[in-house]
Amino acid sequence: MWEIVRKHEEEAEVLLDKYATQRVQTDQTGHYAMVKISAGKANVYARFREGNSTFTWLVPIQVKAAVQTLDLTQENQGGTWPFVP
């Protein structure tokens, strides 16, 4: 079963990477900025690799015409990631 889950997770990551509106990398403190994002509903997808572990986030947000912050934490890590049972 986990082989199937991993295969679909990898395929989902390829699609998310391909159709991403914007790609950013964090600075040394973990901060990032995205610009020229249209107001409305969106999802922030993040992936962090440390050693043999990969952590993913798919967090729904409401984009507003102002500076916003989003903390990626253990509490919202993988929370709405639909590819892991």
What does each of the 85 residues of the chain score in pLDDT, given as a tens digit? 667 767 777 888 888 888 888 888 888 888 888 888 888 998 888 888 889 888 888 888 898 877 788 888 888 786 555 555 4
Q: Is the pTM of this model over 0.75?
A: no
Quote the CA–CA distance of 11 and 8 in Å, as a whole number: 5
Domain ranges in the chain? 2-63
Which residue do the tokens 């990032």 mark?
Answer: 32
In three state form, how does the secondary structure of 25-61 look? Answer: CCCCCCCCCCCCCCCEEEEEEEEEEECCEEEEEEEEE
